[in-house]
Structures are given as structure tokens and as C-alpha cells.
Structure 1
Amino acid sequence: MMVKHFKDLSDEQVAKFNARCAQLGVDPSKIQTSVTTAGAENGLHCGHPAANSTFPPANILKVANVAQLKALCACKDEDYVRGLESDAQVRYPQPLSELALPPLSSHGRDVALIENFMTETQKAAVVQALHAFLVGNSNKVKDYEAIINAIHFPMSLAVYAAQDITITAANPLVLDSDQIGLYNFGVVTVEPGGSIQVVTAAQMDSQVFNGQTALGGAGGTVPTINFRGANGSDGTDGTAGTDGSNGGNAVQGSPSGNNCDCNNPSPVAATASGNGTAGSAGTRGADGSISGTSVFSLGAISGPIQVTYIGGVGGKGGAGKAGGKGGNGGNAAGAAAAPCNNSYAGTPSGNGANGGNGGNGGNGANGPNVTIYYTSITSDTTFSIDTSSIAAGAGGASGAGGAAGSGGTGGGTAGNPGTAGVPGITGSPGTLSARLQPA
């Protein structure tokens, strides 16, 4: 199959490309005609202009609020309202009324202070509402609009544009704008083994998407869109408990001459031993993370596309450590010689301490909602998703109980072992929705 380039586009496709450029504040006559990842070691990054002077952004777009950003995205409310599309795959947050958020009028309307009084659950719900606003029916999260705008807007978004972009197997195209990236390409060609790696949420447009497999097609590598997340860090291990001190042995006095006080030398009673201290618990592993929801409006697609995740595994919980051993008890002193005939008892040995608990494993990342729009597909076009990487972290091992001390008049008790940490929760798999572009 012949690979199309920008010069092969129809007048209608060129007009759509130019219209999108205008919407993003870009002059189509001033953008690069051809971009390739071939010479970009570690990938061609979009989102860090200082590190990629060969492909700088075409514009920095100021976006005042979430409604304005929604207007730039391919997912339209009316398609859901009219029943043209289903939003069953969109993860909507719980109703705002159930979150008990601090009111925007509090703390002198200082958003930074308001955020300081929000829990991580509340912050995550607002981010989830932002993504749902963009890719779902925004009417269902309308109650979140004010808090979304207060916390996340205004935004300054980098816009990248080119007529033709070619992605090679050796070097991916990496979409890692600071917040949400906006990308407009006339023709995207993904060579066999090439990939688009998504680090932050993205809206990417093209008129033609050439998804090439290896020569002959059969058995070739599939062009992929990889959502690159971060694995959670492992929890730290606890510290071992300390051993208890040993008790002192009794010392018997003895008579001296006619002295029957038995104080030469002075007698000493046995002293008590100390208990061991407990081992401390391991800490919880951190959660994995993967970037937010993205939309790809790719136009005429040829070849298969697979969405995959890289990273996002929860961290392993830290191991609990052993409790300290109980100290040995002091030994008794036997009866003294006549005329004293007194004795001193020993003391019990100390108790062993409990072992620390293992830390819980971190949760695997939640996969994002990914939407792909197309105007046409070829007979070999398929859409698939692989979510196997977002596993939960393992729980940490438990610490052993400390041993009891020995000696003295009786043995102490051994400490109990700690409990093993609980594994984290596997992340929700995310969704892939492929849709015909509405007219």
C-alpha cells in the first residue's frame, strides 16, 4: 500500500488541517513541512522546547477555562446527548456534594490555601472530573466546573504542528507537555516498530495516519500508542527492636569471724532483666501512576493500532523487622554458711517483643480513557488494548517475634510475629474507544 504524504491530501483534508491550525492559533504557512524522529536520541519530545530546538512548539495557547478547552477537543457533548455516542466507558467522579470540599469562598478565596485543606481523594476526584469534562458529557460534571477552573486554570498549552511527521522504530515520538498537549499533524507515518509515547494527557489530530507493519504485513510489529507511567516506589523496611538488658545475679554475704550480720561482703539481691523493644513496621508502597485521558482524531487510518501501558505498577510494601530478645534474668544466690543461712532469689527473664508488621503494597495505576476517532479505516485496521502492566504492589513481609530471655527464676514469654502486609489493588484497566468521526 502506498504511503501518503501531505502533498497527497485532498483539498478537503488540507482545508481541515488549516482550519485546525487556525483554531490553535497557528499560521499553517510557517510550520515545519517535514519532521522525523530518526535523529532524536531517546525520542523526539514534544513539551520541552528548550531540549528540542529542532521541533519547537508552533504556539503557546492561553486557555482561560475548562469550557474553552472542551471546545478544542474532539469529544462533543451533543454526540452523547443525541445518542450518537455512548459515554459508558467514561469514568465520572462521585457527585460533588458527597466530597465535602472546602468552599471556594474560604481562606480568602486563596486557591493554594484551599488545596492545602483538600484530601488526596478530593484532589483526585477534581482531576477525574476534569478528564470526564473533556472526553465525556460535561453536563454530568457541571457541578465541578467552578472548582476545576479555580484549581487548574488558566492554562498555557504548547501547540505542536507539522505537515508530515515520521516516527521510526529506533526513536519514538514522546508527548509530554506539562499539562495537556495539543498536536496537529497533516500526515503521521509510524514505521514498523515505531510508537507514540504519551506521558501527559493529549489531543492529537491528523488527516491521515499511516500505521505501517513490517514488510508483507503478516507477523509485523503493530504501531502502538504507549501510555508511559511511573511505577510506585517500594516502601521502606522497619527497624529491628533492641534486646532487653540482662538482670544482675544475686551475691550472698558471708560471715567474718564472730560477725553474724552476713555483710562481709555485703549481700546483693538479683536485679530484674529488661524486655526487648518491638520491631517497627514497614511502610506502604507508593501507588503507580499513568497520565490522564487522551483523544486522537486521526482521520484516514491504515493498519492496526494497539494501545499499551508502560509502568504504573504499585510499589512493594516494606518488610517489618523482628522484635528484640528479652534480657536474661538474674540468678539466685544459695544459702550462706552458718550462722547466716539466708538466701536471695533470682529474677524472671525479660519478655521478647513483638515483630513489626509488613507494609501494604501500593495500588496499580488506573488506566486512562483513550478515544480514537477516524474518518475511514482499511481492511487490516484493528484497535486493541493491553493493560497487563498496571499490577498491584506486593505486601511487605512480617517481622519475627523476639525471643524470650533465659535464666533467673522463670522464663519470660516470646514476642508475637507481626502480620504480613496486604497487597495493593490492581489498577482499573482503562478503556479504548474507537469511533467514526461525526460529520
Structure 2
Amino acid sequence: MTLESYSDEHKNILARAVKSVGMAISDLEGRSYGPKSHKGAMVVSADPGQDNLDSKLVEVNSIAELKAIGGIADSHFKTAGDKHINYPEAQLKTDVPEAIGRARADSCALESLIHPDDEATINQAMMAYVHGDSSKVKGFEDVINALKFPTQILVTVGEDITVTKDNPLIIGQDSPHVDGGKAVFGTVTVEEGGQIQILIPVTFEAAQMIMK
């Protein structure tokens, strides 16, 4: 299905989805994946030798930017509950301002100054910021940005993709150094026996999804 056949609502969904990573809806045009384009697996990977969907790495400079690209808006939680979000309860043992000052914008140096007990708490806060109400973990924002950013995510877009038994979609293969991914397709068709394997945290958006 071509983009021209979509409703204005579907076009707006796609335009918003790709705008967050500096792309336009026109970037989807002509990218049609499936049995006609691939003999085997369709792979999204940070390794260009393995990726075969013309994916690209996009730099993300802050946790707020990552939330805007692939997270859940805080406004969602004004009407929906967030009891399923795992917000950190522990207080950090690290003197964060002092550690950031001593590290002088060197994330590797900062990592060595973070108390070992704080690593899991910071990771938990990062996930809660992106997928929950960020205001509840606002106090962690500075240390997350200093420790985790800038980073990169994998971005894959297409007009349509057809997943079959012989053409599985594998997202994140051998991509340990990226901090997630974003996949945007006009139409996703999954035929009987088709599989989508997601190996890294991914935001998956499509104007329509067809299951056969």
C-alpha cells in the first residue's frame, strides 16, 4: 500500500513518528520490504555488515530527547494510572553534583565515581523517566544525562514491510552499544508463521498492522 492511499490521519501519525528523529514522511517512500526484497531474515542492526533494512544511527543528547522520541508522554499519566511503573525508592549514596564536577563531562570518569549501589537505581530511574511520569524522577535527570548521554539509537523506516515464515524481522541483532531503537512503517503485514524478534528496547509505530 502506497503512502498516497493513506488517510490524512494515518499520514499525520507517520509524520509525527519520524519528525522526532529528524526525518520526513517522504523518507518512507519507496522502501518496501518482504519476500520480494529479501531471501531471508530482515535485520535491523548497528553493525552495517548485518543490517539489511537501510537503518541508521541517530544521536540522542539527553533523556528528555529520548523520551520525546520513543517514550510515553507525561500527559498520558494525568488520566491513566502508573502503578505498573517501577519508580526507584532508594536514595542515591553518591554526591552527584560533586561527582559530576570532578568528572568534567567525562562519562567514563563519572562512572568510576558513582557508588556501586547506585547503578541499578539510576538505570531504574532512566526507564521510569522514559516510560512513566518523568516528573517523579526529575531529580535523577542530571546524573542520567551526565552518565548515559550522548548515546545512539537505531532508526528504521519504510513504506511497508511483510513478515513471513521465511522472512522474519529481527530488530537489534548484535547491537549492544545502542540505547534502543525506533521502527516506523506505513503498513506492517505479518503472514502466518511470520515472527518479529525484538532484541533491544524498541518503539514500533505503524499506520496499520495486518495479521494474516
CA spacing shift, 1:29–1:126, aligned 2, 3 Å: same
1:125-164 residue pairs with structure 2 within 5 A? 125-164=121-160
1:334-413 residue pairs with structure 2 within 5 A? none
CA offset digits 1:202-259 (Å, max 9, x no partner): 11111111133xxxxxxxxxxxxxxxxxxxxxxxxxxxxxxxxxxxxxxxxxxxxxxx
CA spacing shift, 1:53–1:146, aligned 2, 3 Å: closer
Equivalent residue, structure 2, for 1:75: 72
Any conservation in 1 of the 2:58–2:154 contact (CA below 8 Å)? yes
CA spacing shift, 1:37–1:198, aligned 2, 3 Å: farther
* Residues 1:61 and 2:58 aligned together: yes
Equivalent residue, structure 2, for 1:108: 102
CA displacement at 1:174 relative to structure 2: 1.5
Other structure's SS at 1:51 match: coil
CA offset digits 1:115-159 (Å, max 9, x no partner): 124455421221111111011001111111111101111122222
1:92-241 residue pairs with structure 2 within 5 A? 92-95=87-90, 98-106=91-99, 108-109=102-103, 110-118=106-114, 120-176=116-172, 177=175, 178-212=178-212
CA displacement at 1:168 relative to structure 2: 1.1
CA RMSD, 1 decimal: 2.5
Equivalent residue, structure 2, for 1:34: 32
CA displacement at 1:94 relative to structure 2: 1.9
CA spacing shift, 1:196–1:127, aligned 2, 3 Å: same
Other structure's SS at 2:31 match: strand
CA distance in 2, matches of 1:130, 1:12: 32
CA distance in 2, matches of 1:44, 1:13: 24
Structure 2, unmatched stretches of 5+, are none
CA displacement at 1:181 relative to structure 2: 0.4
Equivalent residue, structure 2, for 1:87: 82
CA offset digits 1:189-214 (Å, max 9, x no partner): 111122221111111111111133xx
Any conservation in 2 of the 1:37–1:173 contact (CA below 8 Å)? no
Q: What TM-score, normalized by structure 2, do the two folds share?
A: 0.83
Any conservation in 2 of the 1:189–1:210 contact (CA below 8 Å)? yes
Q: What TM-score, normalized by structure 1, do the two folds share?
A: 0.42
- What amino acid maps onto 2:128 in structure 1? A
Any conservation in 2 of the 1:185–1:207 contact (CA below 8 Å)? yes
CA displacement at 1:35 relative to structure 2: 0.9
CA distance in 1, matches of 2:47, 2:26: 20
Any conservation in 2 of the 1:44–1:52 contact (CA below 8 Å)? no
Q: Which structure's relative contact order is higher, taking Cα pairs within 8 Å and 6+ residues apart?
A: 2
CA distance in 2, matches of 1:194, 1:120: 42
Any conservation in 2 of the 1:102–1:117 contact (CA below 8 Å)? no
Question: Which stretches of structure 1, 4 residues or more, deviate above 3 A after TM superposition?
Answer: 4-8, 37-41, 117-121
CA displacement at 1:89 relative to structure 2: 0.9
Structure 1, unmatched stretches of 5+, are 213-439
Any conservation in 1 of the 2:15–2:25 contact (CA below 8 Å)? yes
Equivalent residue, structure 1, for 2:46: 48
CA distance in 2, matches of 1:208, 1:91: 30
CA displacement at 1:67 relative to structure 2: 0.9
